[in-house]
């Protein structure tokens, strides 16, 4: 049952909320009492001016609960906001996030759709910024570069533009900006928007980071060709496929024709973090997974990249204007290596090895591998990108993926991963210096 279906009918009587405030205060819950008083005041203002109701304070109340993780209370207040002002896009978007968190994808998609029908531009402004950055986003909620750390609000006014919902003519009415960051980093999601993005980029006089045509070259099945000819670089053969329309489709013949042999890795397009990724040891297993898969998929050769000690390692480096910066190292006993599932925090030796890599990438992976990584960054030609890789036992770099969707974020200052933060700051500082270079001698758009 969705949040909307389980919620009691909205009460639009301000006196009800005043009474509830008294109840909460008697129970010692001053925060809830304040929330109910704000609701009463918002309803009073709405009754005085129904057509111009602005439930901003009430929306802030809902967002406070949302940030605390109290999704039930947040959803209640967001729904009241929408009862008063149905076009409040931020309320719809945060309801979408709540639905997504509670594994209700259809309700989440419906809320996002409603939000972006009302609003395509969202300005995040703190008052101390020195730069206005227009961020081209996908309103669908996926495929965007995680830019929060890269564009701190202390320096940047972030103007998010859901370009997949916006008409071309809306481009002329955007607020002033100094720089464009194309945050549609997943080339599979960006592909249907290729023409739209190209038109926007051709019309703006502002510098554009991560131009869409360059991002498009990083689709998984294009990676081997993109990196072809680079010394000491290896990547898995990968093909893009569609669900067979005939039950007896000769899959084995098609695999052989593409140079693929079992075992194979199967994943849906536009998936990250191992979502939907399976290893198929035989044709029957592969066919079984394909039968239940919707849409397109990637098939790639499986390479056993275990080190001599029996562990799998996945290094991540971030490219800023082609220059590589170490970000993390995950070490796992399982072939599917992700930082969150590698149980890094439970093993001091894993964290010690990661610290050594972050402090001295050259000393850890060697000159040969670091040259190969630098060459990959140059070949990618993206302003912001990342690479997940390992070092094979013969010293070559095996590339798992290289694209613009790589995550960078700070860790808790009092947590076990706080050693990563200095290295994150180096990445953020390099990104800042790149933006300064790109906007030098440029006047802001009127």
Distance of CA 404 to the CA centre of its chain: 10
pLDDT digits (tens, 9 = 90+) for 20-70: 999 999 999 999 999 999 999 999 998 888 766 679 999 999 999 999 999
Write the DSSP assignment of 269-315 as a string of letters. TT--TTTT-EEE-SHHHHHHHHHT--SEEEEEE------TTS-EEEE
More confidently predicted of 50 and 94 = 94
- For residues 32 and 25, give the distance between their C-alpha atoms in angstroms, rounded to a whole number: 8
Q: Which residue has the tokens 């009430």?
A: 58
> Which whole number is the average pLDDT over 80-85?
93
Contact status, residue 124 vs residue 164, Cβ threshold 8 Å: no
pLDDT tens digits for 387-416?
Answer: 999 999 999 999 999 999 999 999 999 999
Q: Strands 384-391 and 397-403: what pairing?
A: antiparallel
Radius of gyration, CA atoms only, the chain: 25
pLDDT tens-digit profile of 256-289?
777 888 999 999 998 888 888 999 999 999 989 9
Q: DSSP characters for 124-175?
A: E--S--SEEEEEEE-TTS-SB---TTTS-TTTEEEEEEETTTS-GGGGGGPP
- Tell which phi-psi region holds residue 365, choosing left (phi > 0), alpha (psi between -120 and 50) or beta: alpha
Q: Kindly list the distances between the CA atom of residue 264 and the CA atoms of 38, 267, 384, in Å, as whole numbers in the listed order.
A: 57, 10, 30
Asked whether the predicted pLDDT for residue 1 surpasses 60, the reply is no
Using a 10 angstrom Cβ sphere, with 0-12 exposed, 13-18 middle and 19 or more buried, the burial of residue 443 is: exposed
Q: Decide if 159 contacts 120 (C-beta within 8 A).
A: no
User: Given its phi and psi angles, is residue 441 left (phi above 0), alpha (psi -120 to 50 degrees) or beta?
Assistant: left
> What's the mean per-residue pLDDT of the chain?
91
> What per-residue confidence (pLDDT) applies to 259?
81
Res. 371 pLDDT band, cuts 50 70 90: very high
């Amino acid at each position: 049952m969705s949040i909307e279906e389980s919620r009691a009918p909205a009460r639009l009587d301000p006196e009800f909320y005043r009474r509830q405030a008294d109840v909460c205060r008697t129970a010692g819950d001053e925060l809830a009492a304040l929330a109910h008083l704000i609701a009463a005041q918002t309803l009073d203002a709405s009754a005085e001016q129904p057509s111009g109701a602005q439930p901003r304070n009430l929306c802030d109340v809902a967002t406070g609960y949302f940030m605390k993780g109290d999704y039930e209370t947040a959803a209640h207040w967001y729904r009241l906001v929408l009862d008063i002002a149905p076009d409040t896009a931020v309320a719809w978007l945060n309801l979408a996030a709540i639905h997504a968190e509670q594994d209700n994808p259809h309700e989440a998609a419906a809320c996002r759709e409603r939000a972006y029908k009302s609003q395509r531009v969202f300005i995040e402004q703190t008052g101390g910024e020195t730069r206005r950055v227009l961020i081209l986003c996908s309103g669908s909620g996926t495929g965007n570069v995680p830019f929060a750390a890269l564009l701190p609000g202390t320096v940047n006014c972030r103007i998010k533009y859901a370009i997949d919902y916006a008409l071309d003519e809306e481009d002329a009415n955007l607020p002033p900006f100094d720089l464009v960051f194309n945050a549609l980093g997943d080339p599979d999601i960006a592909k249907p928007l290729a023409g739209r993005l190209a038109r926007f980029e051709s019309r703006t006089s502002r510098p554009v980071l991560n131009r869409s045509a360059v991002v498009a070259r990083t689709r998984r099945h294009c990676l081997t060709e993109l990196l072809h000819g680079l010394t000491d670089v290896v990547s898995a053969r990968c093909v893009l496929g569609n669900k067979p329309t005939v039950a007896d489709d000769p899959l084995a013949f098609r695999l052989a024709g593409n140079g693929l042999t079992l075992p194979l890795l199967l994943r849906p397009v536009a998936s990250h973090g191992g979502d939907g990724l399976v290893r198929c040891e035989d044709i029957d297993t592969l066919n079984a997974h394909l039968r239940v898969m919707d849409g397109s998929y990637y098939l790639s050769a499986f390479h056993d990249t275990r080190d001599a000690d029996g562990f799998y390692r996945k290094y991540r480096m971030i490219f800023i204007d082609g220059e590589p910066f170490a970000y993390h190292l995950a070490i796992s006993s399982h072939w599917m290596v992700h930082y969150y599932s590698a149980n890094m925090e439970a093993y001091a030796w894993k964290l010690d090895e990661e610290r050594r890599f972050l402090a001295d990438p050259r000393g850890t992976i060697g000159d040969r591998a670091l040259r190969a990584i630098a060459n990959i960054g140059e070949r990618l030609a993206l302003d912001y990108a990342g690479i997940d890789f390992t070092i094979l036992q013969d010293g070559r770099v095996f590339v798992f993926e290289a694209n613009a969707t790589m995550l960078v974020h700070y860790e808790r200052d009092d947590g076990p991963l706080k050693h990563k933060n200095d290295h994150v700051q180096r990445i953020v500082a390099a990104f800042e210096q790149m933006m300064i270079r790109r906007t030098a001698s440029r006047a802001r758009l009127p």
